[in-house]
Amino acid sequence: MSAYLIANLKINDRERYTQYEGAFMDVFDNYNGKILAVDENQEVLEGDYDCTRTVLIEFPSNEDAKAWYESDAYQKIAQDRWASSDAVLIMIAGLAD
């Protein structure tokens, strides 16, 4: 069953966040993920939303998603993301086929 990661970010230091972006694909490409959407112009239809970026990623399974997220390579580059933004990252299960 597919797993989806949704990241809601409020970028506080664009220069440092750019360092994270620059290294991201080199790490991400080693896993089975697919980036479905990245948006900084979200249309809020309901509620309060103060994030500056939303990212949606698909993985074939929860195990694939966690392998990427927990990898030493991702944890290393994530230091720049953690230092430059506030984020909520959630994983949700896709619907059964």
Tell me: the pLDDT tens digits for 81-95?
999 999 999 999 998
Predicted pLDDT at 96: 81
C-alpha 6: how far from its chain's center?
6
Are 4 and 58 a contacting pair, CB within 8 Å? Answer: yes
- pLDDT surpasses 80 at 25: yes
Are 5 and 90 a contacting pair, CB within 8 Å? Answer: yes
- pLDDT surpasses 80 at 97: no
Instruction: Extract the runs of DSSP E, i.e. beta strands, from the chain.
Output: 3-11, 34-39, 53-59, 85-93
Mean pLDDT for all residues in the chain: 96
The residues facing 38 across adjacent strands are 55
Which residue segments constitute the domains of the chain, with CATH numbers given? 3-42+50-93 (3.30.70.100)
Tell me: the pLDDT tens digits for 39-78?
999 999 999 999 999 999 999 999 999 999 999 999 999 9
Structure tokens that stand for 50 in this block: 């103060």
Rounded CA separation 78/56 (Å): 17
pTM for the complete prediction?
0.91
